[in-house]
Amino acid sequence: MSHYPFPDESGRYGAFGGRYVPETLMSALLQLEQDYLRLSRDESFQEELKYYLQQYAGRPTPLYYAERLTKHLGGPKVYLKREDLNHTGAHKINNAIGQALLALRTGKRRVIAETGAGQHGVATATVAARFGLECTVFMGEEDMRRQALNVFRMRMLGGEVVAATSGTRTLKDATNEAIRHWVAHVDDTHYIIGSVVGPHPYPMIVRDFQRIIGDEAKAQILQQEGRLPTSVVACVGGGSNAMGIFYPFIEDDGVELIGCEAAGHGLGTAYHAASIARGRPGVLHGAKTMLLQDEYGQVQPAHSISAGLDYPGIGPEHAHLAATGRATYVPVTDDEALEAFFLLSKLEGIIPALESAHAVAYLMREAGRYGPNDVVVVCLSGRGDKDVEQVAAREGDEVNGSHP
Amino acid sequence: MDRIRDAFQASHKLLVPFVVAGDPDYARSLHIATAILDAGADMLEIGFPYSDPLADGPVIQAAAVRSLKQGTRLVDCLRLVRDVRARSPKPLVAFTYVNPLIQYGAERFFSELAAAGGDGVIVPDVPLEEAGEVASAAEAHGIQFIPLVAPTSGEERVRAIVQAARGFVYCVSSLGVTGERQQVSRQVRELVDLVRKHTDLPACVGFGVSQPEHVREISEFADGVIVGSAYVRRIGDALREGRDPVDAVRSFTEQLKQAARESTHPR
């Protein structure tokens, strides 16, 4: 494959991306792009970023050979990229640190963020605490209920959590509220978008701050196996962990890139979040991308058991990778993800986030495609502590003997 | 025929109200629109309801929800333009987010908007950089593509934006989404001056304009005043209190129109 040139100068990934935002934000986005491009070449910025990723977030994360899972599945040799071992429990901290440093370098003392599962909100509140920034996180009212523990964590860290009560009261609406707030406070506030979504330059910035996942995984698999993997598998909501691990492999034609979309109750129902499988090109949150929508372009509610995948759009670069066939996007249902959640817990002693369980579930289903000489890297994007209560309630179990 | 240009030939400053199509239902939104124009408004912005209105505050969001719950589709919004046109010769401007427009197809959208008697379009989430395709489809069908400029735009952007503008230039009064504000920001006068420096097109001010005093103040330096949330809220309040929203918008229009007329500043 030839050199991969995206995004282009207009912020596009082929037919996707761009900047569909109110004029009030345009100057800020253009300035952010300039500042970011300058800092991405600035050695002292890169050194500072590296320092915090190592000393604060705990990087590099291991690439762990999941021996018992491998034996159980009887297919490929499975490695887990352990993003769950990061400080705050997910890959989100990589981007939050990068963007907090960006905010500091551009003189912004206040940051805002949207969050679905709460992982990005927690990561943002964490770095805001560390760097002394004022922090407001927008979260759907429904997600605040599903992820009450993370709401508490954000508040403990000094963050203000604002409930998004419009629309479906999930990640989509939290993002709307964050953008609206940013329109009103763009002069003193940096918006730390949590995924590879939104107007240019955000999908590029978030991808670049997350590519550390793929850079490390590539070096680690070469060291441990002496070759590139057959497949790299990651879950996709907005798609930041997937874009982060895919990006360094894009020009390695032999490596299959597989994104797992939340199929919720199934693609045959109205309850899923599979924007590649069931969406059409449209504009959401400032970017042209694949979008769940009705005939008239009204955005349709998404559904997933995992709040972090419960999003009717997807990052524009994923839409591009799907359109060109460079990456493949597959649906994984709530039930499959739950099964993987339990399997990984019991076999490896690793409780995955429900989001990440979608990637493990793909392998459970498709292990038969692979032979014993195949190597698969799965991005274990986060840990599942936040989901234990929800899963227990759903399964009718008891947590500490006291849960209904 | 250029209804927008003709409207700005008036000796007074223009009052441009905004309402959401299908709020609270089709029939009443037609009555409301007609009553506003009959009561003296000079032009009407018709908002096409959208599920994710990024540039709108809670009042207009709620109206969009009310309308969508009634089952309003884009074809119904175009029908409303046609039905209002049958009752009034004044300029009608569609306010729509980009996604419904491109799903319908830009060509088809503007051809049908023109056939319905629409004069202009405002697409709040299409900045200059993304305007090409939409603006040229509008132009091809004689629909004026009215751009927004903001206090954050800066002179370079304002100059580029107004060069591509048609109809008039929509000056966003202050940072933030649509919604009523207590006072008119000082920045907006500078913004209007900047627009005037680079174009002869009329400059109208919107976002946050909610009271006759605001209209009076803005009419001193701009060519027109756009009032949205204050109308939409009156419609919602009237419904909740069991009053006729048509009466509410009629008397509000008369008040605002009076304020616009009081401006002594010549055009």
Exposed e or buried b for every residue in A120-138, given b needs 16+ CB within 10 A?
bbbbbbbbbeebebebbbb
Q: How many beta-carbon pairs below 8 A join chains A and B?
A: 117
pLDDT higher than threshold 70 for residue B226: yes
All residues of chain B having their beta carbon less than 8 Å from the beta carbon of residue A26 are 127-129, 150, 152-153, 157
Of B73, B99, B177, the CB nearest to A183: B177
Q: Which residues of B touch A285 (CB under 8 A)?
A: 54
User: Which of the residue ranges A116-120, A371-375, B223-227, B230-234 would you say has the lowest mean pLDDT?
Assistant: A116-120
* Residue A373 identity (one-letter amino acid): N
Choosing from B42, B45, B112, B119, which is the catalytic residue? B45
Q: Which A residues in the span 154-173 are in contact with B, Cβ-Cβ below 8 Å?
A: 166-167, 172
pLDDT digits (tens, 9 = 90+) for A287-345: 999 999 999 999 999 999 998 999 999 999 999 999 999 999 999 999 999 999 999 99
What average pLDDT does this structure show over B233-239?
A: 97
What token pair was written down for A156? 């403990």
| ipTM for the predicted complex | 0.96
Task: Name the token pair of B260.
Answer: 């616009």
pTM above 0.90, yes or no: yes
Dihedral angle computed from the Cα positions of residues A211, A214, A220 and A223, in that order, rounded to the nearest 10 degrees: -110
pLDDT tens-digit map of B175-220 = 999 998 888 988 999 999 999 999 999 999 999 999 999 999 999 9
Strands (E), A165-286: 189-191, 231-236, 256-264, 280-284
**CB atoms A299 and B103 under 8 Å:** no
Is the model's pLDDT at A401 over the cut of 70?
Answer: no
Q: What is the DSSP letter of B105?
A: -
Residue type at position A358? H
Residue of A172, A180, A275, A290 for testing the chain B interface, max B β-carbons within 10 Å: A180
Average pLDDT over residues A244-260: 98
- A398 pLDDT more than 60: no
- pLDDT (0 to 100) of residue A3: 86
Angle in degrees, CA B2, B3, B7, rounded to 5: 120
Per-residue pLDDT of A145-154, as tens digits, reads: 888 889 999 9
Query: What pLDDT does residue B263 have?
Result: 73
Q: Please give the mean pLDDT across all residues of chain A.
A: 95
DSSP string, A90-107: BTHHHHHHHHHHHHHHTT
CA atoms within 13 A on the CB side of A341: 24
- Report the residue of chain A nearest B172, measured CA to CA: A24
A306 to chain B, minimum CA–CA distance in Å?
22
Q: Which of A23, A176, A187 sits opposite B52 (nearest CB)?
A: A176
Q: Is A265 on the interface with B (CB under 8 A)?
A: no
pLDDT, one tens digit per residue, over B2-53 is 999 999 999 899 999 999 999 999 999 999 999 999 999 999 999 999 999 9
> Using CA atoms, how far apart are residues A329 and A274, in angstroms rounded to an integer?
9
Collapsing DSSP to helix, strand or coil, A131 comes out as helix
B166 vs B163: CA distance, rounded Å: 9
- Note whether A34 contacts B: Cβ–Cβ < 8 A: no
Residue A230: other Cβ atoms inside 10 A: 18
Does the structure show a pLDDT above 80 at B266?
Answer: no
* C-alpha to C-alpha distance for A126 and A154, rounded to whole angstroms: 8
| Residue B174 DSSP symbol | S
Rounded distance between C-alpha atoms, residue B12 and residue B265, angstroms = 9
- Residue A2 predicted with pLDDT over 60: no
Task: Report the percent of chain A where pLDDT is more than 90.
Answer: 92
